[in-house]
Chain A
């Protein structure tokens, strides 16, 4: 049991009471508060320390026991009928624990006067890429552990800026089809891919909060005898601004009613890989992203996302104004991840989801300490939602990966298998998460 479970439960009770109070008031027209509490028992099998504790493990929890997974509150405050403030805050007790803010933005949706519908967001928010994380608190109604792609989005991608989107319903198609384009310019998010590079891919449900400092896994070049002693940031703050160069993402989406969706997007933080600020390096990270969602016959839902990108970083760039290290080394890594998920609901209560993930991080010719990560994962999840308040479920997660770092650090085989069985209980207050 996590040492912070007690305060977590106390906070949970407080949030629950607050949620219940809001619930009872029923006058939720102006403000809405959604509260979610998740607790789970984990039974894990891994040789590595969990990544939030600074390990190379891909699991969030490496030990067996009950954990207060997350308490979150999502608040929607109406400023005017078309202007809303949205804040998601949560409490977690692993990594840099405590309270934190996940998203905070102003959402403006003017009433459409034609088939064109626009939306503008200002603040810190997720780009609209994940097909999984559509519930309140950016949680997933499908599996407890997110796919490798969306886990990483939750860890290291959070633009601080503005996003504009335009949606058009095509009357010529009897309103069955619609297209949407979106574009964002943002600051921050320059160290994105730092954690992905050092630790590799992961599958879990811990979202990095704006003020979080993530533990770095062991890093050979930063260790004694390593190349860049003394300039080591020991933690990653993925949303830091290091170079005052804005990044962007753009995308387009096509939908066929509630039956099919295809989205293409590109993200580029345009970070200067030489930049260093507030103890953080800039990593020039960009990726292309494809998402497909289709309603198959027999009420089976299919989801797939594919991400392919690269990141550049100059290890040994002058840190904090220091001299240029003689060991300047260009990191030029490619990453690639995809997943395919099938999901189905029975009687609006039972949901079964099966997902296959594949992920890769590689740097051609990087020896001796290649940070390559090559693996796949299976996730099988069953969720029971007897009503809108409670849900329980069981999930089996198996991650297989090959990394040169395993033998390097631990004298362990290159190949690692990490398994986790999870029994979860969740409570929703305010208004329930959408299914």
Chain B
């Protein structure tokens, strides 16, 4: 009997080991990235994203939607961070018409002059930075940052980004903000995510353009003709 039991126990143990081994890459960790400027001051609203080095199944973002509104002749949010494949809507909350367009390589599009009715959403499939403008109101400017990963977030007021549930593995972490010169952005950092919290610093060098510039500027003055 004993002899008969032995292989069964062994099979169970083997199965457990296999299951554990299979489950191992599924251990998920947390990535904490702190974005600072040269002077060590936190920088908010910076797009931070971690892209897995190993090829993974393309994130299924087809049913994800995001929105970039137009309020008081501004794009809201000013920086929209999405994963590739996300559908983006461009409602217009203003009482005047806008004509939204982009000539960026990652997504060239135009939404002809509209006001009341929101046009159907557009899919942003290609990773890259899409600069959005209005053909009527020259000073309107928005950015859509399309990233090839599901692990992304904008830094908060403390310059912090916390990406939770990141499967263990190797990643490159990149940051982007319209306020920095391209040369001032830190190079992509390679990081290995394990169980637990992995901390990382990202330092942006060079002078940053003032935060409010394109969002508001001075509301006391007019920057567009109707």
Q: A-side interface residues toward B, CB under 8 Å?
A: 26-29, 32, 76, 78, 81-82, 84, 109, 111-115, 117, 128, 131, 134-136, 141, 167, 169, 174-176, 178, 255-259, 261, 293, 295-296, 299-301, 303, 343-345, 348, 351, 388, 431-435
Cβ of A112: which chain B residues have Cβ within 8 Å of it? 101, 103, 133, 135
Question: By the criterion CB–CB under 8 Å, are B115 and A434 in contact?
Answer: no
B220, A301: Cβ atoms closer than 8 Å: yes
Quick check: B224 and A134 within 8 Å, CB to CB?
yes
B44 at the binding interface (Cβ < 8 Å): no
Main SS of chain A's interface residues? loop
What 1/0 mask marks residues of chain B from 187 to 226 whose CB sits below 8 Å from any chain A CB?
A: 0000000000000000000000110011011111111111
User: Contact: A114 with B225, CB < 8 Å?
Assistant: no
- Give every chain A residue within 8 A of B95 (Cβ-Cβ): 388, 431-432
Q: Is B122 an interface residue (CB 8 A)?
A: no
B14 interfacial by beta-carbon distance below 8 Å? no
Chain B interface main SS type: loop
Q: Within the complex, which residue of B178, B220, B224 is in contact with A299, where a contact is CB–CB below 8 Å?
A: B220
Could you tell me the distance in whole angstroms from the C-beta of A207 to the nearest C-beta in chain B? 15
List the 8 closest pairs (A to B, CB-CB), nearest first. Answer: A258-B217, A295-B218, A81-B112, A257-B213, A301-B220, A301-B221, A431-B95, A134-B222
How far, in Å, is A299 (CB) from chain B's closest CB? 5
User: Number of B residues whose C-beta is below 8 Å from A?
Assistant: 41
Write out the residue numbers on chain A whose beta carbons fall within 8 Å of the beta carbon of B73: 434
| 8 Å CB contact of A175 from B97, B113, B141, B210 | B141
B181 an interface residue at 8 Å Cβ cutoff?
A: yes
Residues of B within 8 A of A (CB): 73, 95-97, 99, 101, 103, 108, 110, 112-117, 131, 133, 135-136, 138-139, 141, 178-181, 209-210, 213-214, 216-226
In the complex, chain A residues whose CB is within 8 Å of the CB of B99 = 81-82, 109, 111
- 4 new A-B pairs (CB below 8 Å) besides A111-B101, A259-B218, A295-B220? A28-B97, A175-B131, A176-B209, A345-B220
A67 to chain B, nearest CB (A): 26
Q: Is the CB of A176 within 8 A of B213?
A: yes
Return A170 CB to nearest CB of chain B, in Å: 12
In angstroms, Cα B99 to Cα A76, docked, is 14
Q: How far is the CB of A282 from chain B (nearest CB, A)?
A: 30
Docked Cα-Cα span, A435 to B178, in Å, equals 27
Distance of A134 Cα from B226 Cα, bound (Å): 6
Distance A383 CA – B112 CA, assembled complex (angstroms): 35
Is A299 a contact partner of B117 (Cβ separation < 8 A)? Answer: no
Q: How far is the CA of A344 from the CA of B220 in the complex (A)?
A: 5
| Residue of A whose beta carbon sits closest to that of B95 | A431
Can you list 18 A-B contacts with CB-CB less than 8 angstroms, sorted by A residue number?
A27-B116, A29-B114, A81-B99, A81-B110, A109-B135, A109-B136, A112-B101, A117-B138, A134-B222, A174-B181, A175-B131, A176-B214, A257-B210, A258-B223, A259-B218, A261-B223, A351-B220, A435-B222
Q: Give every chain A residue within 8 A of B218 (Cβ-Cβ).
A: 258-259, 295-296, 299-301
Identify which of A76, A114, A175, A343 contacts B220 (C-beta below 8 A). Answer: A343
**B-chain residues with CB within 8 Å of residue A76 when the two chains form the complex:** 97
Looking across the interface, which residue of chain B has its beta carbon closest to that of A110? B135
Q: What is the chain B residue whose CB lies nearest that of A82?
A: B135
